[in-house]
Amino acid sequence: MIVLCLVQFMLVLDDTVVNVALPSIRDELGFSASGLPWVVNAYFLAFGGLLLLCGRMADLLGRRRVFLIGVALFGVASLACGLAQEPWQLVVGRFVQGAGAAMAGPAAMSMITLLYPGPEERTRALGVWGGIAALGGTSGLVLSGALTDLLSWRGIFLINLPVVAVALVLLPRLIPESRAPGRRGLDVPGAVLVTGAAVSLVYGLLRAGETGWSDPVAVGAVVLSAALAVALLVAESRAAAPLVPRSFLASRTRAVANGATLLFSMAMYAMSFLLMIQIQTVLGYSPLLAGISYLPYGAGILAGMWLSSRISLRIGTRWALLLAFLVNIAGLLLLSGVAAGDTYAAHVLPGMLVLSLGNGLSLPVLAVAAVDGTTEEDAGLGSALFTSVQQIGGAVGVAALAVMGYADGLTAGAVCVALGAVLIAVLLPSRAVSGSIPAAAPGEDLARSAGHDPR
């Protein structure tokens, strides 16, 4: 559990570790204003676009094997990023990093779900897993500031190498190989289409933010994204082994959890991107001071994690998530007012503490709900779908909300979280989520595949 969480911490840390270093990367490598967000988005897109394919690969080819290959690929790409001399080299390295993370992330989460088969212990384990994800994102900002200011922005990538070495050495000694029973094909066309649709959408949004919607290239990219999405739906309906079988989405709990996670991720990743730029360029913080300013965010997440399981067990998943989302909305609206001349203690810190508490309350419950009812056959798929939704939501959020400007972007993020709260209130079943369920009996599997799962 410790080794797998350490790797998860590293993977999520790389979602945000570049945010503080973006100004330094821009100045040294010569990124354009429109090209700089691709340092963030290249990772999001590869991670989110390939997760579903890699999750099924883990189930079918062996979870430990796919995990180790992904970690090794991530390490090689981190080294390449740290040595990059041109903008395109860094963007390509970040894309390959995301591909390695797409292999390692769902495999690790599925191994954890199988290590803890009991509902209560699995709920605790996944609560820790979701909290580690939140801490990884926050720690990326703190670590990035320290390394960028004291050493170089290249250190934010090279620091991954010791973690990669530890995982490659220890994990084969700690966890046996596991895979789903039977043989099924891998839906490579589906993975290509979902990645292409995401890339086209984000590129179109970025281009429109720079040149306006009168630009035919921007409009064409968005139209291409829609066409690829339609092609994906058609291809998945005909595929012998689709990325996400319709029977898997018959669980209303999992479907609502993933929908709410998409809206939540759009808001939070955009907030992280915008707040770091605001703190450094408007308030005038150095990279080190900007990173240190995020330390209370980690404390708030830890407090939220500690409260999360207690609250959800007492009032149920739906009400726990609604409470958490309302806290997130309040935090985003407080932070949206930060402007030139404001002080950290009076204007930045209150919103940061409220939002971090909301993050800590949200992520563990969302993680548990997103893999509710998964079995040994589809643990990798459930993990991959949840993480894929996070990554694609983050990419779309950075592309769509960052171009609005700081205050408008955070306000739009609050609207996204509010829509997620409406989704939860209307559609999430009122019963408490079971965490996860041990492998179902054959009759139960048959009922679920026929669409009779009561969830």
Q: Which CATH number is 383's domain given?
A: 1.20.1250.20
Q: Which region among 52-66, 113-127, 309-323 has the lowest average model confidence (pLDDT)?
A: 113-127
DSSP-derived secondary structure letter, 249: G
Query: Of 30 and 148, which is predicted with more confidence?
Result: 30
Query: CA gyration radius for the chain?
Result: 21
* Structural domain contains residue 388: yes
* Structural domain contains residue 454: no
pLDDT at 322 over 90: yes
* Structural domain contains residue 181: no
* Structural domain contains residue 44: yes
* Structural domain contains residue 401: yes
* Structural domain contains residue 182: no
Mean of all residue pLDDT scores within the chain = 81
Cα dihedral 327, 330, 331, 332 sign: positive
444 falls in which pLDDT band (50, 70, 90)?
A: very low
Alpha helices, DSSP H only, in 282-348? 287-292, 295-315, 317-335
Query: Of 177 and 164, which is predicted with more confidence?
Result: 164
291 falls in which pLDDT band (50, 70, 90)?
A: confident
Query: Of 189 and 118, which is predicted with more confidence?
Result: 189
145 falls in which pLDDT band (50, 70, 90)?
A: confident
Q: Which region among 97-101, 219-223, 224-228, 367-371 has the lowest average model confidence (pLDDT)?
A: 367-371
User: What pTM does this model have?
Assistant: 0.75
Average pLDDT over residues 176-186: 70
CA–CA distance, 17 with 302 (Å, rounded to integer):
19
Query: Of 58 and 69, which is predicted with more confidence?
Result: 69
CA–CA distance, 268 with 413 (Å, rounded to integer):
7
Q: Which region among 219-228, 422-431, 435-444 has the lowest average model confidence (pLDDT)?
A: 435-444
Query: Of 379 and 192, which is predicted with more confidence?
Result: 192
Could you tell me the CA-to-CA distances from 414 to 258, 304, 429 in Å, in that order?
A: 18, 19, 24
CB atoms near residue 216 (< 10 Å)? 11
* Structural domain contains residue 179: no
Total number of domains in the chain: 1
Average pLDDT over residues 407-416: 95
Q: Which amino acid is at 150?
A: L
pLDDT at 417 over 70: yes
Query: Of 98 and 374, which is predicted with more confidence?
Result: 98
* Structural domain contains residue 301: yes
Structure tokens at 253: 């709990």
The boundaries of the domain holding residue 367 are 2-173+188-449
Sequence length of the chain is: 455
Q: Which amino acid is at 364?
A: P
pLDDT of residue 440: 32
Top mean pLDDT of 66-70, 119-123, 214-218, 273-277 is at: 66-70
Average pLDDT over residues 35-64: 80
